[in-house]
Amino acid sequence: MIKRVLGATMAVCMLVAMFASVAMAAPAGGSAWQDPGAGWQVPWYSRWQPFPVWPGWGYSTYLGTGLGYHLSYVPEANELVLYVYNPTDKPVTVSQPTALMADFVLWQNGQMVWRASANKSYAQVVISETIKPGEGKVYKESLPWLPAGTYFAQAYYLGETKWAPVASSYIWAQAYEPLKYTVEYLAPTWSNPNPRLRVTIKNLSDKDITLPYQYGYQILVKKAGASEYLPNVGMGQSLGTIEKGATRYVFVNLSGLTPGTYQVDVRSNVAHLGWYSVVAQTWFWNW
């Protein structure tokens, strides 16, 4: 009996140790970092690979290269720009064991919402750069679509260090609506006896637009003059990615509607955080 009790106790201890190790391995905040604006999910390991990052201002490295750094945001191009310059009177040469020389990270409310190196692979070759006195080098990185808001931006220059950003700054991202919406009513025909709505969505930007769950567009229908939308007509969520320059067609079946005049609103919160605006609208008569 004593042996059985000891064996059971050891088994419980092993299980506890296993669960404890798993809990320690998982970062605080869950298995994925959630973009508070677009709803995009950034895998938790993106914060730790290819090297770990933290939402701090960083520090000046002791006995560093002597290089200077400046980080700026260009709203017109939606880019982060890191300027690396040599204020000394001697050339400075730095090297890095991979092709990744600069990395950029965005934070909001203490959570990482974007990282330039996430889900990318880099050549495993030694890269060397020499910056002459009074000269500099520019690194640019295009940002994804961002909802309007304030973000904390970091720039890492691996020729200096990967343990802290070399430059940090708060930036304000101005929202814009990258998608164009139109909606039209399709009356019943001999080939399709069901009335329908056809919503056309065009991506006018030069970037793919991802519409995760609970963000993107809604297609809502209500009787003309009513204050509430019909609960079982339309579409309340959107999913998927609309590639740059692409067009998506969405059809909504209107079979079962009683005769009368109706209003359809296409709403989007792609350009805003937490609230929708009407981006397309029409009225139709159902008989």
Q: What is the 3-state secondary structure (H, E, C) of the chain?
A: CHHHHHHHHHHHHHHHHHHHHHHHHCCCCCCEEECCCCCCEEEHHHHCCCCCCCCCCCCCCCCCCCCEEEEEEECCCCEEEEEEECCCCCCEEEEECCCCCEEEEEEECCEEEEECCCCCCCCCCCEEEEECCCCEEEEEEECCCCCCEEEEEEEEECCCCCCCCCEEEEEEECCCCCEEEEEEEECCCCCCCCCEEEEEEEECCCCCEECCCCCCEEEEEEECCCCCCCCCCEECCCCCEECCCCEEEEEEECCCCCCEEEEEEEEECCCCCCCCEEEEEEEEEEC
User: What mean pLDDT comes out for the span 106-120?
Assistant: 89
**What average pLDDT does range 134-150 have in this prediction?**
86
> Domain 179-286: what homologous superfamily?
Immunoglobulins (2.60.40.10)
User: What is the residue-averaged pLDDT of the chain?
Assistant: 80
More confidently predicted of 2 and 54: 54
| Higher-pLDDT residue of 33, 119 | 119
User: Is the confidence at residue 28, as pLDDT, over 50?
Assistant: no
pLDDT at residue 97 above 70? yes
What integer pLDDT is reported at residue 45 of this predicted model? 85
Predicted confidence (pLDDT) at residue 6 exceeds the cutoff of 80 = no
Whether 47 shows a pLDDT value over 60: the answer reads yes
- Which has the higher per-residue pLDDT, 36 or 250? 250
pLDDT at 215: 64
Which position has the token pair 């640019």? 140
Taking alpha carbons only, the member of 78, 41, 105 closest to residue 173 is 78
Average pLDDT over residues 63-81: 89
What is the rounded distance in angstroms from the CA atom of residue 220 to the CA atom of residue 46? 37
Residue 177 reports pLDDT greater than 80: no
Mean pLDDT of 159-173: 92
The rounded distance, in Å, linking the Cα atoms of 234 and 254 is 8
Indicate the pTM of the whole model.
0.56
Closest CA to 270 of 207, 214, 199, 197: 214
Distances (CA, A) of 22 to 12, 18, 27, 49, 78: 15, 6, 10, 18, 39
Region 32-173: CATH code = 2.60.40.2360
Residue 175: which pLDDT band, with cuts at 50, 70 and 90? low
Q: Locate CATH 2.60.40.2360 in the chain.
A: 32-173
What pLDDT score was predicted for residue 18?
A: 34
**The pLDDT of residue 154 is above 80:** yes
With a cut of 70, say whether residue 2 has pLDDT above it: no
CA distances 12 to 8, 15, 19, 242, Å, are 6, 5, 11, 50
Residue with tokens 């937490």: 274
Do 263 and 276 touch, CB atoms closer than 8 A? no
| Start and end residues for every CATH 2.60.40.10 domain found in the chain | 179-286
Instruction: Give the pLDDT confidence score for residue 135 in this predicted structure.
Output: 95
Instruction: Pick the more confident residue, 145 or 99.
Output: 99
Q: How confident is the model at residue 29 (pLDDT cuts 50, 70, 90)?
A: very low
Average pLDDT over residues 101-125: 89
CA distances, 107 to each of 73, 173, 196 (Å): 14, 12, 43
pLDDT bucket at 42, cuts 50 / 70 / 90: low
Q: Which two tokens stand for residue 213?
A: 């769950």
Higher pLDDT, 175 or 53: 53
Q: Is the pLDDT of residue 7 over 50?
A: no
> What is the percent of the chain where pLDDT is above 70?
80
Rounded distance between C-alpha atoms, residue 57 and residue 208, angstroms: 31
Q: What is the pLDDT of residues 211-221, one digit of tens each?
A: 765 667 899 99
pLDDT in tens, 203-262: 988 778 877 656 678 999 999 989 999 988 888 777 788 898 999 999 999 988 889 999
